[in-house]
């Protein structure tokens, strides 16, 4: 048996501030992703309207769009992006063990999450939906750009 005395000291102020900042960052992630989702909803509503306006101005009254499939695909992508953004804002029920702050190992499927795991799982869930929404929105923009080149008078 080791008879060495182990001394301890309270954490320094900077260590406490670092830990507070870390915890705040974990807690704030879902809120930040909600703000991003709101911005994506705004874009998802504005871009199709702007696209229709640009298409009308560029082509005029006698314009014929040869690629209606691309237009439908662009609007479908924007609709999916809007749906994913709105879905990420929808509250989701999570099983959480309120007596457990942290866990040493990830919760098994169907088992309640610790409080820290709850914040991380919420952020991960929202992030996945918003990344997919962003990709669909960008794809819609690319498809819309292609249709503008296919419009003739």
**Digit-coded pLDDT (tens) for 77-90:** 999 999 999 999 99
How high is the pLDDT of residue 150?
Answer: 65
Backbone dihedral region for residue 4 (phi beyond 0: left; psi -120 to 50: alpha; all else: beta): beta
- Domain total for the chain? 1
Classify residue 60: in a domain, yes or no: yes
Residue bearing tokens 């309207």: 49
Classify residue 9: in a domain, yes or no: no
Answer yes or no: are the C-beta atoms of 45 and 134 closer than 8 Å: no
Classify residue 54: in a domain, yes or no: yes
Retrieve residue 110's tokens.
């169907």
Classify residue 146: in a domain, yes or no: yes
Classify residue 56: in a domain, yes or no: yes
Contacts of 117 (CB under 8 A, 6+ apart): 102, 103, 106, 107
Classify residue 31: in a domain, yes or no: yes
Question: What is the band of 26 on the pLDDT scale with cuts at 50, 70, 90?
Answer: confident
Classify residue 7: in a domain, yes or no: no
How high is the pLDDT of residue 64?
Answer: 62
The whole domain housing 104 covers: 19-152
Taking alpha carbons only, the member of 151, 134, 139, 136 closest to residue 54 is 151
Bridge partners (DSSP) of residue 152 are 64
Q: What percent of the chain has pLDDT over 70?
A: 88
Radius of gyration in angstroms for the set of CA atoms belonging to the chain, rounded to a whole number: 25
Classify residue 8: in a domain, yes or no: no
């Amino acid at each position: 048996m080791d008879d060495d005395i182990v001394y301890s000291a309270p954490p320094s102020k900077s260590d406490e501030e670092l830990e507070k900042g870390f915890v705040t960052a974990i807690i704030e992630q879902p809120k930040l992703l909600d703000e991003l989702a709101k911005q994506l909803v705004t874009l998802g509503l504005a871009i199709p309207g702007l696209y229709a306006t640009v298409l009308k101005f560029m082509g005029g009254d006698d314009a014929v769009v040869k690629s209606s499939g691309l237009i439908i695909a662009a609007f479908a992508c924007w609709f999916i992006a809007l749906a994913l953004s709105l879905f990420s804002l929808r509250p989701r029920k999570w099983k959480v063990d309120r007596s457990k702050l942290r866990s040493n190992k990830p919760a098994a499927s169907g088992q309640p999450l610790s409080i820290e795991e709850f914040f991380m799982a919420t952020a991960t869930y929202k992030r996945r939906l918003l990344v997919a929404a962003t990709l669909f929105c960008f794809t819609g923009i690319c498809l819309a750009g292609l249709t503008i080149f296919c419009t003739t008078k």
